[in-house]
């Protein structure tokens, strides 16, 4: 393959759809020998770590490389760092932090968190949960260290005191760790797309970028994020999500996964699915909050309820995918509006429909069963029991006389499947053996939680923690 061969995103997707992702990638994102790489290379950079991807995983690794006195080059194909990490809500789940101790939630442990998170009907399991244990312990250190160094967190809340929310969300988190990586000496190269892993005698020894620069290093860390923004890969691995809206950064195209597979890497849980939540159909504004934070109801486009509104946001999103046209409405009345502040932002944004009697609203949104649904719901609320779906919170009738609706639909934003790694962040081959010289962290890897039978919560710590573990492991093994 020529290292200077380029494809637009459109042709990348088009080809993939017809020829299959793996076959297509074989000619474009792939592996080559050192000799081939040297022949193709226009110039060569020698370093200690090549880190591919400048989100939380890549930057976490770069910080640790600098702390241990190693040189590193971070390759980021976009014009700015951040990837999905910068888009994220900035919530880091960690059990047993100093912030928890200081705010009255002391005594928490990794064991307690794992017990709480274990799914009874999980498709995968791994007794001992080695990856999750490493990740949660690392998440505690991540929160404690970043906070000690000046990163702000909003106060913890009773409903989930393990959810540490960075002040300023993912954008602030990325800006903070970028600064730290730069201060630690990382060389960051933007608009630099890695295209091939260089493999010599079974060992990964470098990376070739799209412009023909060869980066040679004893350790390569893939931190390229997930594949949610690659329609061909979504179609191939999780086709049931193919026509669902996407919230993911432009760079989340699965390239690290493809490159590593071309070098012999194994993958896990590729067909396990995507994480979902409700967004506004009009504006893509996050709509996961209203159903679980106020007494309105969620209906499909016919006007029928289909789940307990206080279900986990991902459960709600996945049920939403099964509804006609996989969309629906959150319906509330003027009493709910008056009592709960969160709706005023949606009014200001201009995405609230209605302000009308129920029949009129039902007609406006084309949901014929809505009046009967509300009447039945109000009857159940008179007894305080949701006999249909078992909703347990915000049990109150919707009595109008003025009603409103928000148009909602699920989006996908996190790929569960990805590279197979061990607790030292080594990328494993298809037989489960580490590929020498190759490490990975973050969303390019399969979710530690999903593959070990727990509920997914941790994208940011999976990046930062395993990025740092990768540097430590490579340093120890050198
Ligand atoms: C809307 C949203 C909200 C979220 N909220 C949370 C949350 O609150 N808490 C949480 O834990 N997780 C959250 N997540 C998930 C989490 O953000 C991601 O799992 C995590 O940020 C992934 O980090 P990463 O470093 O692996 O990848 P990314 O942050 O996506 O970074 C990967 C980088 O690699 C670059 N790249 C890709 N291919 C190449 C290539 N070939 N060459 C060079 N560069 C390349 C990309 O451009 C990108 O910048 C959220 C995700 C989204 C989309």
32-273+416-477: CATH class: alpha beta
277-412: CATH class: alpha beta
Cβ-proximal residues to 327 (8 Å cutoff; 6+ apart), any chain? 281, 300, 301, 320, 407, 408, 409
Q: What pLDDT score does 34 carry? A: 85
Residue owning tokens 């040679």: 216
Nearest residue (CA) to ligand 1, atom 48: 83
The CA-to-CA distance between both ends of the chain, in Å, stands at 31
Q: What pLDDT score does 26 carry? A: 38
Q: Are strands 418-419 and 297-300 parallel, antiparallel or unpaired?
A: unpaired
DSSP per-residue string spanning 375-392: HHHHHHHHHT--TTT---
Nearest residue (CA) to ligand 1, atom 4: 88
Q: What angle do CA 346, 348, 349 make, to 5 degrees?
A: 60
Whole-angstrom distance, CA of residue 374 vs CA of residue 360: 13
* Contact by Cβ (8 Å): 51, 223: yes
Q: What pLDDT score does 28 carry? A: 61
Whole-angstrom distance, CA of residue 406 vs CA of residue 352: 5
Whole-angstrom distance, CA of residue 90 vs CA of residue 460: 8
Identify each DSSP E strand in 269-417 by its residue range.
274-280, 297-300, 328-333, 352-356, 403-415
Distance 377 CA to ligand 1 centre (A): 40
- Kindly report, as residue ranges, where domains of CATH 3.90.700.10 are found in the chain: 277-412
Q: How many helices (H) and strands (E) does the chain have?
A: 19, 21
Mean pLDDT by 10 residues, the chain (478 residues): 26 33 50 88 96 98 98 98 98 98 98 95 93 98 98 96 98 98 98 97 96 97 98 97 95 97 97 96 93 95 97 94 95 96 95 96 97 98 96 96 97 97 98 98 98 97 98 97
Is the bond preceding residue 471 a cis peptide, omega within 30 degrees?
no
Partnered with residue 439 across adjacent β-strands are: 221, 426
Whole-angstrom distance, CA of residue 393 vs CA of residue 293: 8
DSSP class of residue 332 equals E
Cβ-proximal residues to 477 (8 Å cutoff; 6+ apart), any chain? none
- Kindly report, as residue ranges, where domains of CATH 3.50.50.60 are found in the chain: 32-273+416-477
Distance 16 CA to ligand 1 centre (A): 22
Tokens coding 425 = 């962040």
Tokens coding 121 = 């009907």
Point out the ligand 1 atom lying closest to the alpha carbon of residue 467.
Answer: 25
Q: What pLDDT score does 10 carry? A: 26
Distance 20 CA to ligand 1 centre (A): 24
Q: What pLDDT score does 11 carry? A: 28
Helix or strand or coil: residue 403? strand
Helix (H) / strand (E) containing 356: strand 352-356
Residues with CB under 6 A from ligand 1: 52-58, 75-78, 82-85, 87-91, 193-194, 223-225, 247-249, 251-252, 255-256, 413-414, 442-444, 458-460, 463
Point out the ligand 1 atom lying closest to the alpha carbon of residue 250.
Answer: 47
């Amino acid at each position: 393959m020529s290292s200077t061969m380029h494809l637009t995103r459109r042709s990348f997707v088009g080809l993939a759809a017809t020829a299959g992702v793996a076959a297509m990638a074989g000619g474009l994102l792939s592996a080559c020998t050192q000799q081939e790489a040297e022949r193709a290379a226009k110039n060569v950079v020698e370093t200690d770590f090549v880190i591919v991807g400048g989100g939380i995983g890549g930057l976490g690794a770069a910080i640790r490389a600098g702390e241990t006195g190693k040189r590193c080059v971070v390759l980021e194909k976009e014009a700015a760092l951040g990837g999905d990490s910068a888009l994220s809500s900035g919530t880091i789940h960690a059990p047993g932090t100093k912030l928890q101790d200081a705010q009255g939630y002391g005594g928490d442990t990794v064991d307690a968190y794992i017990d709480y998170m274990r799914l009874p009907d999980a498709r995968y399991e791994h007794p001992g949960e080695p990856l999750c244990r490493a990740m949660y312990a690392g998440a505690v250190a991540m929160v404690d260290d970043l906070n000690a160094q000046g990163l702000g967190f909003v106060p913890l809340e009773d409903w989930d005191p393990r959810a540490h929310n960075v002040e300023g969300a993912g954008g602030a988190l990325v800006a903070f760790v970028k600064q730290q990586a730069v201060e630690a000496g990382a060389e960051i190269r933007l608009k630099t797309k890695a295209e091939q892993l260089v493999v010599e005698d079974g060992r990964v020894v470098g990376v070739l970028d799209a412009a023909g620069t060869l980066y040679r290093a004893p350790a390569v860390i893939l931190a390229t994020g997930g594949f949610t923004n690659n329609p061909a890969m979504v179609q191939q691995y999780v086709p049931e999500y193919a026509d669902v809206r996407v919230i993911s950064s432009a760079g989340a195209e699965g390239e690290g996964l493809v490159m590593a597979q071309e070098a012999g890497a194994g993958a896990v849980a590729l067909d396990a699915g995507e994480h979902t939540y409700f967004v506004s159909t009009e504006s893509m504004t996050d709509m996961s909050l209203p159903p679980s934070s106020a007494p309105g109801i969620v209906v499909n486009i016919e006007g029928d309820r289909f789940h307990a509104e206080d279900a986990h946001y991902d459960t709600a999103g996945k049920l939403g995918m099964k509804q006609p046209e996989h969309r629906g409405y959150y319906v509330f009345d003027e009493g709910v509006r008056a009592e709960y502040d969160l709706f005023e932002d949606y009014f200001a944004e201009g995405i609230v429909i209605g302000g009308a009697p129920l029949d009129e609203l039902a007609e406006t949104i084309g949901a014929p069963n809505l009046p009967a649904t509300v009447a039945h719901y109000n009857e159940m609320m008179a007894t305080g029991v949701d006999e249909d779906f078992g909703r347990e919170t915000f049990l109150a009738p919707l009595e109008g006389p003025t009603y409103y609706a928000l148009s909602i639909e699920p989006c996908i934003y996190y790929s569960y499947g990805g590279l197979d790694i061990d607790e030292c962040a080594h990328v494993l081959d298809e037989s489960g053996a580490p590929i020498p010289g190759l490490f990975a962290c973050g969303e390019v890897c399969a979710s530690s939680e999903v593959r070990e039978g727990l509920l997914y919560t941790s994208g940011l710590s999976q990046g930062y923690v395993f990025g740092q573990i990768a540097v430590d492991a490579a340093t120890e093994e050198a």
